[in-house]
């Protein structure tokens, strides 16, 4: 199995709601990271998971949380949605180590109204 | 902290022209990796090239080439003989232990 798959591809939520985004990592990749990409901007690092534990976090509030499962799939959860959370959320997986490079999914487009 | 700057917001060229995308980075780390990714309208980031901080040798891979200059903290990317299919947003990124810091991207329009 190759590639990183994300679901759903598009999602519309109301301000204040909670959302869960899902990612299936590339086979053999035990490191997963999540990024938020606002329209017209570069992706911003949210957090990274390695072997089911968070091992790095960007400048995002605690209402952004995640999980990684033994099969290396992962979730991004966002509570108390705000309008500014509207963005493309990208999942990326890699083997451990620096400079390996990530394989990115096509993302989930979240719209908060 | 890392910072990546892509000063060119949008570039338009005619097919077969060469085009260079600029990238300037800031980092306090002595070991780091630099990447270029391409993002077509589908949204997926596609890996193009990677260079580590200890290797300033510039290379050519097909129509792609890059110029890494540590002295000026620049990592520029050139597409030779551009094609319409090269139209996309291109991101430069600095990797510090798998935490990528991306620039804001350069949108490349290649016209037939």
pLDDT score for B110: 97
Q: What gap in Å lies between CA B3 and CA B102, rounded to an integer?
A: 8
Q: Which residues of chain A have pLDDT under 50?
A: 1
Q: What gap in Å lies between CA B36 and CA B23, rounded to an integer?
A: 9
Given a contact cutoff of 8 angstroms between Cβ atoms, the answer to whether B34 and B92 are in contact is yes
Specify which residues B40 forms β-bridges with.
Answer: none
pLDDT score for B42: 83
- Whether B30 contacts chain A with CB within 8 A: no
Which structure tokens are listed for B107?
């949108």
pLDDT score for B98: 65
pLDDT score for A1: 46
Q: What gap in Å lies between CA A8 and CA B9, rounded to an integer?
A: 30
Residue B1, burial from CB neighbour count under 10 angstroms (0-12, 13-18, 19+)? exposed
Chain A residues whose C-beta is within 8 A of a chain B C-beta are 31, 33, 35, 40-45, 48, 56, 58, 88, 90, 92, 94, 96-107, 109
Taking an 8 Å cut-off on Cβ atoms, the answer to whether B98 and A33 are in contact is yes
Using an 8 Å CB-CB cutoff, list chain B residues near A97. 98
pLDDT score for A29: 83
For each of chain B's 112 residues, which pLDDT tens digit applies?
Answer: 679 999 999 999 999 999 999 999 998 888 888 999 999 988 889 888 888 888 777 777 789 999 999 899 999 999 999 999 999 999 999 987 767 899 999 999 999 9
């Amino acid at each position: 199995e190759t590639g990183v798959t994300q679901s759903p591809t598009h999602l519309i939520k109301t301000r204040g709601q909670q959302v869960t985004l899902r990612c299936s990592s590339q086979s053999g990749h035990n490191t997963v990271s999540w990024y938020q990409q606002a329209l017209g901007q570069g992706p911003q690092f949210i957090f990274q998971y390695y072997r089911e534990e968070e091992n790095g976090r960007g400048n995002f509030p605690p209402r952004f949380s995640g999980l990684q499962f033994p099969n290396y799939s992962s979730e991004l959860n966002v509570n108390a949605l705000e309008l500014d959370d509207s963005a493309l959320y990208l999942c990326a997986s890699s083997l451990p180590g620096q400079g390996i490079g990530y394989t990115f999914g096509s993302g989930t487009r979240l719209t908060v109204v | 902290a890392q910072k990546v700057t892509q000063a060119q917001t949008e570039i338009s060229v005619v097919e077969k022209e060469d085009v260079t995308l600029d990238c300037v980075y800031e980092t306090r780390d002595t070991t780091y990796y630099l990447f270029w990714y391409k993002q077509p309208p589908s949204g997926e980031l596609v890996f193009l090239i990677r260079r580590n901080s200890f290797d300033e040798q510039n290379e050519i891979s097909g129509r792609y080439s890059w110029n890494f200059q540590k002295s000026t903290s620049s990592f520029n990317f050139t597409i030779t003989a551009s094609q319409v299919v090269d139209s996309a947003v291109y991101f430069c990124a600095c990797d510090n232990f798998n935490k990528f810091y991306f620039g804001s991207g350069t949108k490349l329009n290649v016209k037939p």
